[in-house]
Amino acid sequence: MADFRLSDSEQALYERAMEFARKEIVPRAIELDIANEVPVDICQKAYEAGFMNLHIPKEAGGPHNTLFEETLIYEAMGYGDPGVATSINVNNLAFAPLVIGATIEQLQKYVQPMITSEKARFGAFCLTEREAGSDASATKTTAVRDGDEWVINGTKCWITNAPVADLFTVFAQTEPGSGYKGMAVFMVPKDAGVKIGHIENKLGQRASQQSEVIFENVRIPEDCLVGEVGRGFHIAMMTLDMTRTGIASIATGVCQRALDEASRFANTRIAFGKPIIRNQGISFTLADMAAKAHSARLATRHAAWLADNKLPGLGMDSAIAKLLASDYAMQNTTDAIQIMGGYGYAIEYGMETLFRGAKLLQIYEGTNQIQRIVIANELSKRAKTLDTGFRLNYPGVDAPDHSFKQ
């Protein structure tokens, strides 16, 4: 029999993360969004609380949390603020390709010192380029072998936490023009000569930073290659299949926060002699918002459960979770502003900050259009072997005729 309850340890973890979000993030979300920089002090507190570097194996000094446990933590962080959540969460994205493809010895050498230091240290996931966003195989950054070193050249963009990162996970072409077949992934320490370029000035999630990362004849040793040459694209796709659940969990937190703030407002705002929550138009909107938050949570946790149990379907289910949760986050924050009226539109009340932050959830780590492509491709594969039990003469399909008798 299926059991949808959290275990005692999972419930305690979720409650601890929510307490952190309400105490450390919610009261400062507006201030941090205005500052437009990585909130290093809050990240430090999250690091000390055990909310960063969650999936690093114990052999490399990490806690080796399950993906399901990660969704509990990052739903809470998203509840606080999606920008802050992104800053805290991005190490999971940066290190995921290394957990997938690197040896324990590599993790111990390059990652363990970062996740066991007294101060929170950051990694950066470097895949996107100006002409290689959704089409990751169009990457132009190159990695050329020179003796027992690799020489990296190219420019990445929209790289989260790059201005504060110490280790860059870089996807590059070892055979220019070969598309995904020549892609490899490398660990590049900042002190190898990595430069930071233009820092983006964004609409929302301004408590996280994205910037260009410039590699000009950056030399790294042979052991910075993760896995094998030609495996980079596969590692990138495996990474995104897993980390999309992190974005979905942040979005779920945004869904729930928008619902909670709108419900609280509607229960105290008096119009026509009664709280507006008693008006059907408002109450039905809140009911729809609750259904969206609930659906996002179930889809997200199910995708994480599939990954933890190594069951098939993760790519499609994580795409569904990211698609639903981020679309619902955008819809719930929009509806919350409508319910709150002018108060929702004013910066002091926090909802417009949440609204602007929600938009990016539909864009990064694969736009929702890309998620629909992932889902549609999987549906196409499944349709080839699908048997519904019903038979008609579809064009090009052999099937017996039906005789319908009156």
For residue range 217-273, what is the model confidence (pLDDT) as tens digits? 999 999 999 999 999 999 999 999 999 999 999 999 999 999 999 999 999 999 999
Beta strand segments in 209-340, E:
210-221, 225-226, 270-271, 274-275
Q: What is d(CA 98, CA 112) in angstroms, rounded to the nearest whole number?
A: 12
| Section 102-109 average pLDDT | 97
Choice between 388 and 188, residue whose per-residue pLDDT is larger: 188
pLDDT of amino acid 74? 98
d(CA 214, CA 141): 10
* pLDDT tops 90 at residue 313: no
pLDDT of res. 405: 57
Q: Indicate the domain borders of the chain.
A: 233-383
Residue 176, pLDDT score: 82
CA distance 102 to 143: 17
Percent share of the chain, pLDDT over 70 = 96
Per-residue pLDDT at 295 exceeds 80: yes
Task: Count CB neighbours of 228 within 10 A.
Answer: 12
Q: Which pLDDT score is estimated for 290?
A: 98
Q: Where are the beta strands (DSSP E) in 252-403?
A: 270-271, 274-275
Which position has the token pair 């780590």?
365
* Catalytic residue ranges: 365
User: Phi first, then psi: what are they for 130, rounded to 5°?
Assistant: -60, -35
Token pair listed for 285? 């909107």
At residue 236, the pLDDT reads 96
Tell me: pLDDT of 107 over 90: yes
Q: What is the pTM of this model?
A: 0.95
Span 285-307, average pLDDT: 97
Looking up tokens 């990362």 gives 213
CATH topology of domain 233-383: Butyryl-CoA Dehydrogenase, subunit A; domain 3 (1.20.140)
Token code pair at residue 68? 């399901």
